[in-house]
Amino acid sequence: MEQQSFDRHLLHYGRDFLNQLIIRADGSYLFTADGRAVLDFSSGQMCATIGHNHPKIVEAMARAGRTVVHLESTMLSPDVIALAETLCDLLPEPLNKVQFLNTGGEANEAALKLAKIATGRFEIIGIAGSWHGTTTGAASVTYAHGRKKYGPMMPGSLAIPSPDAYRCPIRRCKNQCDMACLDVGFDMIDACSVGEEAALIVEPIQSAGGVVVPPKGYLGRVRDYCDQRGMLLVLDESQTGLGRVGELFAFSSENVVPDILTLSKTLGGGIPLSAVVASDDVADTARERGFSHYTSHTSDPLTATVGLAVLGVIVSEQLAERAAAMGDYLCESLLELQKRHEAIGDVRGRGLLLGVEIVADRSTREPGYELIKALTARCFALGLNVNQVGGPHAVWRIAPPLTVSRDEIDQAIEIMDQAFKGGPHPHG
């Protein structure tokens, strides 16, 4: 099918559309209109966390369709209450108050508004290479992409360097971040802030920014900097939460509890569902000061029913633990692939969120911009879908569903190998 025949009425909102229609999805696979099966190692842009069209999600949607799909925002359904209780039971104190929305951008908007009204301040610090959404507030502290040609961002938007050990932003470290970038970053914040710092928002692992993994202790030091300045810590776990990195929440390994947590992609399993979770103190202060963040789809019954099903599968099937084990296997396989192909400059990540940096020259680390485009297209032609991320760099984000099998991982590695070699399809 010619692309012009099906996208002529669609507004183009970023990258070009794939020139094939996807007519079905199941588990780790997508199925095209021409009958091809394609392994999806992007998990539907990180959303199909328990696989495409999981039976529990389909059952939950059908159940909601028979009971209640939508209510006005002041009306609550039993599943909204149950999802709030289930989610808060999985989180440490004092994260006890939750609002359900649709997208990560919406959740981050709510988080920033909560931080501002609770502190009475307006400056928000982000991290270079971050991705928090495309709505105005979230976009103002998103530095990976999409900042050009839109005019002024939200007043008070500040940034510190990314803890990128492979491409040190302050030209100091090589392969092992010593957190000097964080210290320098806050020196610059202190130099340019007007003294109204409300919060710092950070992804425990920068996903769209190139799968940048901070060193151990980074979040703890961030927490200290926030506490010293009376700022709130907002953790955006839209892409790292609920098992993706081998534990339910990425902040758990650091023993750092945020003041505000946001979740999205992994919570809905493909259905638009997000959450902003706040501490009792933040939530109570915000309410006293008149916090308002209404949307037409806050606390939707249907999405809450699906969210309960997703959490049930993740917990009952121990998918966080499974992601840790399968992630180790996938990472080892990618490191073996790196030994065979000079274009793989770096392999990094945690659990089933891994990054493969493609370079034109391994010694100089020159990004392989054109090469990664060709490799990505080649992989899809061979039956594997992978996302290109990394902002100014060339990185594959390897993030299969948490239900991925070893056989599927082996198949994906075979396809990548053939893509680098430029050879025939590994299965004939």
Same domain, 205 and 329: no
Tens-place pLDDT, residues 76-129: 999 999 999 999 999 999 999 999 999 999 999 999 999 999 999 999 999 999
pLDDT higher than threshold 50 for residue 377:
yes
Residues 41-63, mean pLDDT to the nearest whole number: 96
In a domain, 86, yes or no: yes
Residues 27-33 have a mean pLDDT of 97
User: Is 426 within the bounds of a domain?
Assistant: no
Pick the last residue of a domain from 292, 316, 340.
Answer: 316
Q: In terms of domains, do 40 and 69 share one? A: no
C-alpha separations of 244 from 49, 165, 171, 273, 325 in Å: 8, 22, 31, 17, 11
Let me know: does 83 contact 307? Beta carbons within 8 Å. yes
Q: How many CA atoms lie within 13 A of 162 on its CB side?
A: 27
Considering the domain boundaries, does residue 427 fall inside one?
no
Checking if the pLDDT of 423 tops 60, the result is no
Report residue 5 CA to chain centroid gap. 33
Domain count of the fold of the chain: 2
Strand 260-263 to 274-279 pairing: antiparallel
pLDDT at 212: 96
For residues 226 and 351, state if they share a domain: no
**Domain of residue 303, residue span:** 57-316
Instruction: Note the pLDDT of residue 1.
Output: 46
Question: Are residues 236 and 188 part of one domain?
Answer: yes
Q: What is the mean pLDDT of residues 168-197?
A: 94
User: What's the rounded mean pLDDT across residues 317-324?
Assistant: 98
Q: Are residues 185 and 285 in the same domain?
A: yes
The answer to whether residues 178 and 45 belong to one domain is no
In angstroms, the CA 103 to CA 234 distance is 16
Same domain? For 267 and 331 the reply is no
Active-site annotation, residues: 131, 203, 236, 239, 265, 397
Task: Please give the mean pLDDT across all residues of the chain.
Answer: 94
Please indicate whether residue 336 or residue 255 has the higher confidence score (pLDDT): 336
Do 85 and 137 fall into the same domain?
A: yes
Residue among 381, 391, 329 at smallest CA distance from 18: 381
Residue 381: CB atoms within 10 A of its CB come to 13
